[in-house]
C-alpha cells in the first residue's frame, strides 16, 4: 500500500507535533520551515490541559520539566523597583502544568519528530495547485513536489493561509478568505543572557498602556515588552530594524529598567516582535489543504496558543488516520472538535490585557491594590482563571490507540 504523503508548513509547535503523530500512523511527512533553524526567542509558554496528555504520550514530559522556568510568581514594581503587588502562580497551578521558553518547547518537539519526518529548513511554499487527488507544490528553493495533503502550521502570518484562503485581511484569494484582527497591542521579547534565572518571580513595571518585565528562564533572563497601539501603517513582521524603532519610541521615558533593556534590545540579534492579533476563519480547511494552530485560529498572546497547537495536532492526526479516503471528513471532525477548545479562549483578551497592561494610571493602581488587599489565593485564582484557564479536551478527543501504537 502506498504511503499517504503530507506536507506541513511550519516547524514551531504544532508542525513538529503533527509530524510526530502522522508518522506514527504511517504517513510520509515533510516539514518545510522558512527559517534556517529553530527560533530561540519568544515569550515563555505553557503546556496545560490536553497538551499534558499529548506530551506524556510522546515521552517528552521529563525533558519539558528540565526546561521549565520554575517561575514562582508575578511581582509588580514601581519605577524604583519597589514591589507594589504580587500574584502567586504556584498557589493555583494545576498538577502537570509546565511553563517553559517557547524556543525550548519547539526544540524538544522537533527532536521528538526529526527521525520520523523530513525537515526542510530555509525554504517556504511558493504556490499551491490542488485537484481532487493531491496538491502540486512549488517551493522558493526546492524542486516542485506533489503531496496528498498540505497542512499550514505556519503561524499568525501564514503563507499557507494566504495561498489557499486569501490575504490576511480576507479581501483577496479564495472564497474562504481569512481575517487577522489586530487586538490593539504589540509584544516583544529578547534574551538577556547571563546566569540561569529559573525559580524566581517575573518582575513587571507598568505605565499607562505599557508593561516591561524581566522573566527568569533556565538559560538566563528574558526581557518582555507589551504596549497598546493601533495597527502600525506599513508594519512588516520581518523587519527587525522597524521593530527596534517602534519599541524604542513606545517605551521612551519609561523608568525602572526600561532604558537599560532598550539598550540591550538595540544591540540584540534575536528579537521577537509582533502584533497581538487573532485569526478568525469561517472554515479551517479548503479541499486538501487545512490549517493548524495560530494559522487557523490565533487566540492572541493570552490564549494558550502552544497548548492548543499541540492538542489540535493530536486531534488532526487521529482524524486523518481514521479516514483513509476522505480527508475532508477528517478535517470537518477535527475542526468541530477543536473549536470547542479554541472559541472560549478567543473571548478573554479584553479582561486579560486589562490586568497585564492597564490602559490608565487608575487601572494600574486598582490592579496593584487588589493584589495587596484580597486574600492571596483568592486574587491569584481570579486573575489566573482569567488569564490562563487551561483548555481540557474531552477524553474522546485523545484516542487511546495512539498511545498504544
The tens digit of pLDDT for each residue in 98-143 reads: 988 888 999 999 999 999 999 999 999 999 999 999 999 999 999 9
pLDDT band at 83, cuts 50/70/90?
very high
What per-residue confidence (pLDDT) applies to 350? 66
Indicate whether 169 pLDDT > 60: no
Higher pLDDT, 354 or 266: 266
The confidence band for 385, taking pLDDT boundaries of 50, 70 and 90, is very low
Among 28-32, 49-53, 386-390, which stretch is predicted with the lowest mean pLDDT? 386-390
> pLDDT at residue 306 above 70?
yes
13, three cell numbers: 509547535
Mean per-residue pLDDT of the chain: 85
List the grid coordinates of 199.
Answer: 525559580
Q: What is the pLDDT of residue 392?
A: 43
For residue 254, pLDDT over 70 is answered with yes
**What's residue 69's pLDDT?**
85
- Output the pLDDT for position 130: 96
Q: pLDDT band for position 168 (50/70/90)? A: low
Between 239 and 193, the more confident residue is: 239
* Confidence band of 41 (pLDDT split at 50, 70, 90): low
Residue 241 has pLDDT above 70, yes or no: yes
- For residues 90 and 4, the answer to whether their CB atoms sit within 8 Å is no
179 has a pLDDT exceeding 50: yes
Q: What band does 60 get if pLDDT is binned at 50, 70 and 90?
A: very high
pLDDT of residue 377 exceeding 70, the answer is no
Give how far the C-alpha of residue 196 lies from the chain's centroid of Cα atoms, to the nearest Å. Answer: 23
pLDDT reported for residue 58:
97
Residue 304 has pLDDT above 50, yes or no: yes
Q: Are the C-beta atoms of 89 and 71 separated by less than 8 Å?
A: yes
- Say how far apart CA 214 and CA 113 lie, in whole Å: 32
Per DSSP bridges, beta strands 272-279 and 180-193 are: antiparallel
pLDDT value at 274 more than 90: yes
Higher pLDDT, 284 or 198: 284
> 194 by DSSP, 3-state: which?
coil
pLDDT at residue 374 above 80? no
Average pLDDT over residues 297-314: 87
Q: What is the mean pLDDT of residues 197-218?
A: 87
Nearest-angstrom CA–CA distance, 197 and 212: 17
**Confidence check: pLDDT of 362 > 70:** yes
> For the ranges 64-73, 74-83, 86-95, which has the lowest average pLDDT?
86-95
Radius of gyration of the chain (CA): 21
Pair 313, 293: CB distance under 8 Å: yes
Question: All domains of the chain, ordered by start, with CATH?
Answer: 5-69+96-180+277-347+391-404 (3.50.50.60), 183-276+350-387 (3.30.9.30)
Which range (257-261, 295-299, 309-313) has the least confidence?
295-299
376 vs 89: CA distance, rounded Å: 10
Nearest CA to 103 among 342, 306, 317, 390? Answer: 306
pLDDT at 197: 54
Identify which has the larger pLDDT, 93 or 269.
Answer: 269
Q: Which residue has 484582527 as its cell numbers?
A: 181
Mean pLDDT of 246-270: 93
Quick one: average pLDDT of 347-355? 73
The percent of residues in the chain predicted with pLDDT above 90, rounded, is: 60
Residue 93 — pLDDT band, cuts 50, 70, 90? low
**Mean pLDDT value across residues 374-398:** 45
Residues 258, 254: Cα–Cα separation, whole Å: 6
pLDDT bin (cut points 50, 70, 90) of residue 94 is: low
Q: Where are the beta strands (DSSP E) in 199-292?
A: 202-207, 210-215, 221-228, 272-279, 285-286, 289-291
Name the nearest CA neighbour of 224 among 400, 44, 82. Answer: 44
The answer to whether the beta carbons of residues 313 and 153 sit under 8 Å apart is yes
Amino acid at each position: 500500500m502506498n504511503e499517504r504523503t503530507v506536507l506541513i508548513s511550519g516547524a514551531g509547535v504544532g508542525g513538529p507535533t503533527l509530524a510526530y503523530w502522522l508518522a506514527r500512523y504511517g504517513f510520509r511527512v515533510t516539514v518545510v520551515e522558512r527559517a534556517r533553524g529553530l527560533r530561540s526567542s519568544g515569550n515563555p509558554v505553557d503546556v496545560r490541559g490536553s497538551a499534558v496528555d499529548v506530551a506524556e504520550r510522546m515521552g517528552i514530559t521529563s525533558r519539558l520539566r528540565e526546561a521549565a522556568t520554575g517561575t514562582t510568581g508575578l511581582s509588580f514594581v514601581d519605577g524604583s523597583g519597589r514591589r507594589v503587588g504580587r500574584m502567586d502562580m504556584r498557589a493555583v497551578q494545576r498538577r502537570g502544568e509546565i511553563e517553559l521558553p517557547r524556543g525550548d518547547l519547539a526544540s524538544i518537539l522537533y527532536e521528538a519528530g526529526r527521525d520520523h519526518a523530513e525537515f526542510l529548513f530555509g525554504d517556504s511554499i511558493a504556490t499551491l495547485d490542488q485537484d481532487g487527488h493531491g496538491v502540486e507544490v512549488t517551493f522558493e528553493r526546492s524542486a516542485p513536489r506533489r503531496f496528498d495533503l498540505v497542512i499550514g502550521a505556519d503561524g499568525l502570518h501564514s503563507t499557507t493561509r494566504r495561498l489557499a484562503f486569501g490575504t490576511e485581511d480576507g479581501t483577496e484569494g479564495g472564497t474562504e478568505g481569512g481575517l487577522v484582527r489586530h487586538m490593539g497591542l504589540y509584544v516583544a521579547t529578547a534574551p538577556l543572557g547571563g546566569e540561569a534565572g529559573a525559580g524566581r518571580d517575573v518582575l513587571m513595571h507598568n505605565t499607562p498602556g505599557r508593561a516591561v518585565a524581566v522573566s527568569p528562564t533556565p538559560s538566563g533572563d528574558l526581557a518582555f515588552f507589551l504596549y497598546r497601539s493601533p495597527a502600525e501603517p506599513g508594519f512588516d513582521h520581518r523587519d527587525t530594524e522597524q521593530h527596534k524603532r517602534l519599541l524604542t519610541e513606545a517605551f521612551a521615558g519609561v523608568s525602572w529598567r526600561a532604558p537599560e533593556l532598550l539598550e540591550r534590545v538595540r544591540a540584540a540579534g534575536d528579537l521577537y516582535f509582533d502584533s497581538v492579533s487573532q485569526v478568525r476563519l469561517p472554515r479551517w480547511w479548503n479541499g486538501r489543504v487545512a490549517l493548524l494552530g495560530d494559522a487557523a485560529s490565533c487566540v492572541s498572546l493570552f490564549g494558550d496558543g502552544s497548548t492548543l497547537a499541540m492538542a489540535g495536532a493530536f486531534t488532526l492526526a487521529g482524524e486523518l488516520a481514521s479516514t483513509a479516503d476522505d480527508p475532508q471528513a477528517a478535517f470537518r471532525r477535527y475542526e468541530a472538535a477543536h473549536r470547542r477548545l479554541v472559541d472560549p479562549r478567543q473571548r478573554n483578551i479584553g479582561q486579560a490585557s486589562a490586568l497585564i497592561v492597564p490602559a490608565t494610571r487608575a487601572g494600574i493602581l486598582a490592579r496593584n491594590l487588589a493584589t495587596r488587599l484580597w486574600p492571596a489565593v483568592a486574587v491569584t485564582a481570579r486573575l489566573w482563571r482569567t488569564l490562563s484557564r487551561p483548555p481540557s479536551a474531552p477524553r474522546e478527543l485523545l484516542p487511546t490507540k495512539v498511545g498504544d501504537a
